[in-house]
């Protein structure tokens, strides 16, 4: 067992909060503004951790454990990915279902916490969030289907590892399509434009921000961090697809991952700068489009 | 398998989905422009031998499909001040789903067609899918201009199919085909412009005066 | 070198006509070019013509028939246009004459092209050349008509292009897409691809012909286009489209695919007859009526083609008759519109009193177009009927007879009402311009002549063309 899976995991955890900052900064730059500092999220997190938690009188334990579960599931999901390009901390056949399930569980906990406040406002947000995830999860599984078909492996570490490097050249068209689908999925899962606008608190448009409105202090910090981590996880998936690093030395693989994550964040920023937020009733279409790409990826492999 | 032309063909499929999924006419036109550019690059990628025939075909395609027609169509929507496709016969998500089914079908059909030596395994299925997606856009959208875009995509699909026969069809004929398509879409655009003026709308569903 | 100039001179004339300012100069160009064209066609009849441009342009019996029809009809319509444009100045301006001349060029290209892709280019150009003319009146109805015409024809012709590419893929030997080489090497054509090509070309060129159920654009377009343009479409454009279908039929028949091709053609033919009859009963607009009549005659053409045997001879003869009679009928209706302002049976009445010559032309035309003796259409329709019985399709023959009878009733009801009913308002008879009636009279004379006597030269060409349609082989 090499230390590299642990090292890269720590690295990803450490750089995750910078990614939303990079994305937002890119967007600001492209739209002619200066924008907030890249490291702003670190400062926010530090500030939130020092604060007290305020609970609404109507809330119960469900409200309190929501953020904890969200963060915990995101971190465990991270251990399933072969971040150094070779091996994951945790790996077993079929763990891709666990990966999707963990992310789903985190979302579920957050939705429950939002509903627990009893506020109709947060109920609305919860409903929207569930709508998005109802479309997002099948797409995630379609993406995994491409990987399973391409590599014949059933674990994340296996299908993003050496097998992928071997079949990469042959299946590039499929993988490229899947990477695009995953990128679109990442935008939906982490509440970025065009699915959601992280920069707004306007009730008509909010999805994610609505649910977490009542959270405060360290618990809000957990949610923010988990969200940034999810962006990093999807980023890691996309990078692994486009650049299999199984044949590279682990330090180099880690560096490529780092560069890839930054590029992904910049990409998110570019999308945010060039697109408007979609209307709520058009959201399913965005995810159906992502699904269509993944299906074409599957078709190319089945041929 | 993953040579440059495979990626180009994949791009063609993606632009098809783009057109199926977008509500904005300007966005659909941009997609066809990109598709035109991809198509212009295709012959060069398929036949790397820099023959005059191939270069002429690429330049002609680039000029007509990537530059002239999109510019003209953009002019038409600007003049007519139409931006969006509203309430198509089949919804946008529905047509995306239909699009995926059509792509799957095309791959199935392409395996059954006993075509002789094709340069790329993707060429025929992508051509068929593009033809069918063009027909979908043509038949399920209401705005006359979107129908023109659908026709353009249909033609693009046939062009991709024609590339499998590029050596058999003489250059002069290909130029004639390009010119005909250009003039055809040009006239259609003019008619769309008149429809917009006469009916205050580009909705082809309003064209219902003539019937038995 | 005669075929290439026949294509290029009209297109050059079209360009000059677009630049020429005075109307008389444009009309002079129009008539002059068509006379020249007819002269060139005469040269084609009197001697063999070597293939030109590497065999792409050549003349055979069927091509000669079509180019002659186009030329004769075009001259008649050019003369008529001279009268028409002086009565009603075109709002489309200079495009009108240029569009007609461009059509002549493209139609000639279709007729003399022996390269299947070049033929496609010509066919698409005919569609485009006539589009501005359909929109001649610049109102909402003609706008709707031109939109349907453009969209449906373009999609049809696009599918024909796909079929042409399939045809190229089916060919394994000889010069690509050249008619002679494909027929000579028909044994080596790949059957599956050839069949696919045939289906696409049938649908594509069938749309241009207006075979049911691909005819949706036809009544609207013929109804709204100026009558002379509709006449050109119903006579010349459909003949060109039929030629496209005939070419691929020649190839598939030569390849021994008769069992695949013929039932399809018969099905389309019968379907067209049924649809035409259904829509002609109760139709009160004469131009739309004639459009359905055109659907009927196109149906008869493919029916004869599909029945085979003597039916092929009936088809080529009917091709000639149809072109002439459609020109006559639409020009006569054009006169009705000029006199009464409408082609609708409710408004256009008392034609015999208000425009006697046109009234007589319409009356005789009615009998001719419905296939009554002694006109040529009787002969050709009877030949096709004969083929249906002779080739063992008694039910097709019975259906054909019944449908033709229905069509006669539907058509006669409207035409007779228009001719004999008293006019809505009492008005003195108009003086009918020579330019407007000379052409139709010539066409009527030709149709009558073909009913009683077929010149030996024509007979030879007809037989030769019918033989080619069967894919050649033993005579």
Residue C475, domain member (yes or no):
no
φ, ψ for residue C58, nearest 5 deg: -155, 165
Tokens 């001649």 locate to C136
Contact status of B17 with chain C (Cβ, < 8 Å): no
| Chain B contact set for C230 (CB, 8 A) | none
| pLDDT above 60: residue C180 | yes
| Chain B contact set for A299 (CB, 8 A) | 103-104, 107
Query: Closest Cα of chain B to C196: distance in Å?
Result: 9
Q: Which of A60-64, A188-192, B163-167 has the lowest mean pLDDT?
A: B163-167
Torsion of CA C283, C284, C286, C288, to 10 degrees: -50
Using the beta-carbon criterion (under 8 Å), do A303 and B2 form an inter-chain contact? no
| pLDDT above 70: residue B27 | yes
Tell me how far apart the alpha carbons of residues C400 and C273 are, in angstroms, rounded to a whole number: 7
Using the beta-carbon criterion (under 8 Å), do B209 and C140 form an inter-chain contact? yes
Query: Closest Cα of chain A to B133: distance in Å?
Result: 13
| Chain A contact set for B92 (CB, 8 A) | 282, 285
Residues in chain A: 303
Is C416 within 8 Å of C294 (Cβ atoms)?
no
β partners of residue B24: B84
Q: Which of B114-128, C146-160, C451-465 has the lowest mean pLDDT?
A: B114-128
B–C contact: 3+ Cβ pairs < 8 A: yes
Of C475 and C147, which is predicted with more confidence? C147
Mutating which of A131, A170, A285 best tests the B interface, going by the most B Cβ atoms within 10 A? A285
| Chain B contact set for C224 (CB, 8 A) | 210
> Chain-wide mean pLDDT for chain A?
89
Residue C40: its pLDDT value, please? 95
Residue C229, domain member (yes or no):
yes
> What proportion of chain C, given as a percentage, has pLDDT over 90?
67
Tell me how far apart the alpha carbons of residues A87 and A250 are, in angstroms, rounded to a whole number: 10
State which residues form the domain around C90.
Answer: 3-469
Using the beta-carbon criterion (under 8 Å), do B100 and A172 form an inter-chain contact? no
B–A contact: 3+ Cβ pairs < 8 A: yes
| pLDDT above 90: residue C288 | yes
CA-based nearest residue in chain C for residue B184:
C128
| Chain A contact set for B125 (CB, 8 A) | 303
Which of C152, C71, C166, C68 has the alpha carbon at shortest distance from C117? C166
Instruction: Tell me what the mean pLDDT of segment C40-63 comes to.
Output: 90
Query: Closest Cα of chain A to B61: distance in Å?
Result: 24
| Chain B contact set for A274 (CB, 8 A) | none
Residue B1: its pLDDT value, please? 40
Tell me how far apart the alpha carbons of residues C337 and C335 are, in angstroms, rounded to a whole number: 5
Half-sphere exposure of C129 (CA within 13 A, CB side): 27
Using the beta-carbon criterion (under 8 Å), do C117 and B194 form an inter-chain contact? no
Under 8 Å CB pairs connecting chains A and B tally to 58
Interface of B with A (CB under 8 A): 1-2, 6-7, 10, 13-14, 17, 21, 23, 91-93, 96-97, 99-100, 103-104, 107, 111, 121-122, 125
Residue C112: its pLDDT value, please? 94
Touching subunits of A (3+ CB pairs, under 8 Å) are B
Instruction: Tell me what the mean pLDDT of segment B26-37 comes to.
Output: 93
Instruction: Tell me what the mean pLDDT of segment C242-270 comes to.
Output: 94
Using the beta-carbon criterion (under 8 Å), do B165 and C193 form an inter-chain contact? no
| Chain B contact set for A284 (CB, 8 A) | 93
- Residue A274 — very low, low, confident or very high, per pLDDT cuts 50/70/90? confident
- Residue A285 has its nearest CB partner, among B7, B92, B100, at B92
- Residue C128 has its nearest CB partner, among B161, B173, B184, at B184
Contact status of B191 with chain C (Cβ, < 8 Å): yes
Using the beta-carbon criterion (under 8 Å), do B154 and C158 form an inter-chain contact? yes
Burial class (CB in 10 A: 0-12, 13-18, 19+), B202: buried
Which of C309, C221, C306, C311 has the alpha carbon at shortest distance from C261? C306
Which chain B residues in 91-150 lie under 8 Å from chain C, judged by CB atoms?
113-116, 131, 135, 138, 144, 147
| Chain B contact set for A289 (CB, 8 A) | 17, 21, 96
Instruction: Tell me what the mean pLDDT of segment A222-245 comes to.
Output: 92
Contact status of C135 with chain B (Cβ, < 8 Å): yes
Q: Which of A285-294, B44-53, C19-28, C218-227 has the lowest mean pLDDT?
A: B44-53
Is C325 within 8 Å of C447 (Cβ atoms)?
yes
Q: Which of A42-46, C137-141, C277-281, C360-364 has the lowest mean pLDDT?
A: C137-141
Residue B119: its pLDDT value, please? 67
Q: What is the ipTM of this complex?
A: 0.92
- Residue A299 — very low, low, confident or very high, per pLDDT cuts 50/70/90? confident
Contact status of C369 with chain B (Cβ, < 8 Å): no
Residue A266: its pLDDT value, please? 94
pLDDT in tens, B147-182: 889 999 999 999 898 888 877 777 777 877 887 888
Query: Closest Cα of chain B to A281: distance in Å?
Result: 11
Which chain C residues in 288-317 lie under 8 Å from chain B, judged by CB atoms?
288
Residue C420: its pLDDT value, please? 86
> What proportion of chain B, given as a percentage, has pLDDT over 90?
29
Residue B57: its pLDDT value, please? 87
Q: Which of A270-284, A286-300, C20-34 has the lowest mean pLDDT?
A: A270-284
Residue C458, domain member (yes or no):
yes
Using the beta-carbon criterion (under 8 Å), do B144 and C220 form an inter-chain contact? no
Burial A119-146 (b: 16+ CB within 10 A, else e): beebbbbbebbebbbebbbebbebbbbb
Contact status of C87 with chain B (Cβ, < 8 Å): no
pLDDT in tens, B85-100: 777 888 888 889 999 9
pLDDT in tens, C189-245: 889 899 999 999 999 999 999 998 999 999 999 999 999 999 999 999 999 999 999
Using the beta-carbon criterion (under 8 Å), do C169 and B165 form an inter-chain contact? yes
> What proportion of chain C, given as a percentage, has pLDDT over 70?
98
Give C436's contacts (C-beta < 8 A, 6+ positions apart): C80, C83, C84, C331, C334, C335, C338
- Residue B93 has its nearest CB partner, among A169, A170, A288, at A288
| pLDDT above 70: residue B38 | yes
- Residue B202 — very low, low, confident or very high, per pLDDT cuts 50/70/90? confident
- Residue C95 — very low, low, confident or very high, per pLDDT cuts 50/70/90? confident
CA-based nearest residue in chain B for residue C195:
B113
**Domains in chain C, number:** 1
Sequence spans of domains, chain B: 4-204
Using the beta-carbon criterion (under 8 Å), do A299 and B17 form an inter-chain contact? no
Residue C349: its pLDDT value, please? 84
CA-based nearest residue in chain A for residue B98:
A292
Cβ atoms < 10 Å from Cβ of A280: 15
| pLDDT above 70: residue B114 | yes
| Chain A contact set for B100 (CB, 8 A) | 291-292, 295-296
> Chain-wide mean pLDDT for chain C?
91
Residue C344, domain member (yes or no):
yes
Residue C474, domain member (yes or no):
no
Interface of A with B (CB under 8 A): 169-173, 176-177, 180, 282, 284-285, 288-289, 291-293, 295-296, 299-300, 302-303
Using the beta-carbon criterion (under 8 Å), do A173 and B122 form an inter-chain contact? yes
Touching subunits of C (3+ CB pairs, under 8 Å) are B
CA-based nearest residue in chain A for residue B5:
A173
Which of C46, C28, C36 has the alpha carbon at shortest distance from C7? C36
Residue A71: its pLDDT value, please? 95
φ, ψ for residue C344, nearest 5 deg: -90, 135
Burial class (CB in 10 A: 0-12, 13-18, 19+), C324: buried
């Amino acid at each position: 067992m090499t230390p590299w899976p642990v090292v890269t995991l720590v690295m990803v955890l450490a750089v995750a909060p910078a990614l939303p900052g990079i994305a937002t900064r890119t967007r600001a730059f492209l739209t002619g503004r200066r924008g907030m500092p890249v490291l702003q999220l670190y400062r926010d997190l530090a500030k939130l951790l020092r604060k007290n938690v305020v609970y609404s009188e109507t809330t119960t334990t469900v409200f309190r454990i929501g953020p904890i579960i969200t963060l915990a599931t995101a971190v465990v999901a991270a251990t399933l990915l072969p971040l150094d390009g070779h091996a994951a901390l945790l790996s077993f056949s079929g763990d891709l279902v666990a990966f999707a399930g963990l992310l789903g569980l985190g979302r579920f906990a957050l939705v429950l916490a939002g509903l627990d406040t009893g506020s109709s406002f947060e109920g609305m947000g919860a409903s929207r969030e569930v709508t998005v995830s109802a479309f997002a999860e099948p797409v995630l599984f379609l993406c995994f289907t491409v990987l399973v078909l391409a590599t014949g492996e059933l674990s994340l570490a296996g299908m993003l590892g050496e097998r992928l490097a071997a079949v990469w050249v042959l299946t590039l068209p499929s993988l490229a399509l899947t990477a695009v689908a995953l990128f679109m999925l990442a935008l939906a899962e982490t509440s970025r434009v065009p699915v959601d606008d992280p920069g707004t608190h306007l009730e008509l448009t909010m999805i994610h921000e609505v649910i977490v409105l009542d959270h405060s202090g360290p618990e809000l910090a957990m949610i923010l961090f988990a969200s940034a981590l999810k962006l990093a996880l999807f980023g890691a998936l996309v990078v692994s697809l486009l650049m299999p690093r199984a044949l590279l030395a682990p330090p180099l693989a880690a560096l490529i991952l780092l560069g890839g994550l930054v590029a992904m964040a910049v990409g998110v920023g570019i999308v945010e700068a060039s697109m408007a937020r979609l209307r709520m009733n058009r959201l399913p279409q965005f995810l159906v489009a992502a699904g269509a790409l993944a299906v074409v990826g599957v078709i190319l492999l089945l041929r | 398998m993953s040579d440059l032309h495979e990626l180009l063909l994949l791009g063609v499929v993606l632009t098809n989905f783009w057109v199926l999924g977008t509500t904005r006419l300007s966005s659909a036109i941009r997609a066809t422009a990109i598709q035109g550019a991809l198509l212009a690059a295709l012959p060069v990628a398929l036949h790397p031998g820099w023959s005059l025939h191939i270069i002429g075909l690429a330049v002609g395609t680039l000029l007509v499909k990537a530059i002239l027609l999109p510019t003209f169509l953009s002019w038409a929507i600007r003049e007519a001040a139409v931006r969006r496709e509203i309430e198509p016969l089949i919804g946008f998500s529905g047509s995306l789903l239909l699009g995926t089914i059509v792509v799957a079908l095309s791959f199935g059909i392409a395996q059954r067609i006993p075509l002789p030596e094709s340069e790329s395994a993707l060429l025929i299925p992508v051509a068929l899918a593009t033809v069918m997606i063009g027909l979908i856009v043509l038949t399920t959208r209401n705005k006359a201009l979107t129908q023109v875009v659908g026709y353009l995509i249909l033609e693009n699909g046939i062009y991709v199919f024609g590339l499998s026969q590029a050596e058999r069809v003489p250059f002069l004929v290909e130029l004639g085909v390009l010119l005909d398509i250009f003039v055809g879409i040009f006239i259609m655009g003019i008619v769309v412009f008149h429809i917009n003026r006469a009916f205050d709308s580009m909705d082809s569903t309003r064209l219902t005066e003539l019937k038995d | 070198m005669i075929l290439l100039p026949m294509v290029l001179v009209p297109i050059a004339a079209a360009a000059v006509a677009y630049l020429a300012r005075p109307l008389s100069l444009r009309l002079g160009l129009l008539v002059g070019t068509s006379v020249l064209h007819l002269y060139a066609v005469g040269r084609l009849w009197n001697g063999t013509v070597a293939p030109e441009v590497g065999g792409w342009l050549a003349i055979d019996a069927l091509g000669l028939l079509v180019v002659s029809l186009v030329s004769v009809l075009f001259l008649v319509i050019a003369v008529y246009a001279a009268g028409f444009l002086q009565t009603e100045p075109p709002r489309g301006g200079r495009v009108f004459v240029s569009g007609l001349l461009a059509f002549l060029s493209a139609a000639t290209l279709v007729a003399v092209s022996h390269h299947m892709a070049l033929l496609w280019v010509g066919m698409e150009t005919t569609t485009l050349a006539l589009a501005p003319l359909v929109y001649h009146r610049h109102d909402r109805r003609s706008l709707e008509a031109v939109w349907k015409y453009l969209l449906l024809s373009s999609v049809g012709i696009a599918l024909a292009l796909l079929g042409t590419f399939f045809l190229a893929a089916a060919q394994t030997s000889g010069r690509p897409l050249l008619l002679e080489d494909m027929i000579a090497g028909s044994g080596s054509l790949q059957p599956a691809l050839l069949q696919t090509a045939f289906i696409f070309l049938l649908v594509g060129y069938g749309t241009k012909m207006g075979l049911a159920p691909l005819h949706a654009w036809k009544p609207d377009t013929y109804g709204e286009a100026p009558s002379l343009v509709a006449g050109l479409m119903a006579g010349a454009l459909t003949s060109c489209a039929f030629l496209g279908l005939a070419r691929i039929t020649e190839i598939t028949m030569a390849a021994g695919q008769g069992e695949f091709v013929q039932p399809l053609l018969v099905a389309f033919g019968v379907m067209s007859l049924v649809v035409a009859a259904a829509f002609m009963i109760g139709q009160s607009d004469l131009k739309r009526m004639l459009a359905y009549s055109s659907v009927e005659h196109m149906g008869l053409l493919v029916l004869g083609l599909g029945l085979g045997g003597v039916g092929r001879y009936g088809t080529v003869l009917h091709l000639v008759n149809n072109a002439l009679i459609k020109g006559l009928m639409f020009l006569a209706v054009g006169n009705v519109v000029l006199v009464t302002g409408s082609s609708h049976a409710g408004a256009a009445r008392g034609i015999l009193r208000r425009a006697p010559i046109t009234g007589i032309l319409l009356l005789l035309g009615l009998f001719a177009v419905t296939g009554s003796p002694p006109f040529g259409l009787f002969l050709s329709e009877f030949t096709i009927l004969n083929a249906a019985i002779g080739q063992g399709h008694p039910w097709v023959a019975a259906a054909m007879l019944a449908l033709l009878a229905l069509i006669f009733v539907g058509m006669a009801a409207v035409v007779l009402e228009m001719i004999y009913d008293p006019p809505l308002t009492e008005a003195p008879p108009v003086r009918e311009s020579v330019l407007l009636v000379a052409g139709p009279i010539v066409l009527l004379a030709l149709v009558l002549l073909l009913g009683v006597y077929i010149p030996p030269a024509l007979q030879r060409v007809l037989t030769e063309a019918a033989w080619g349609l069967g894919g050649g082989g033993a005579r």
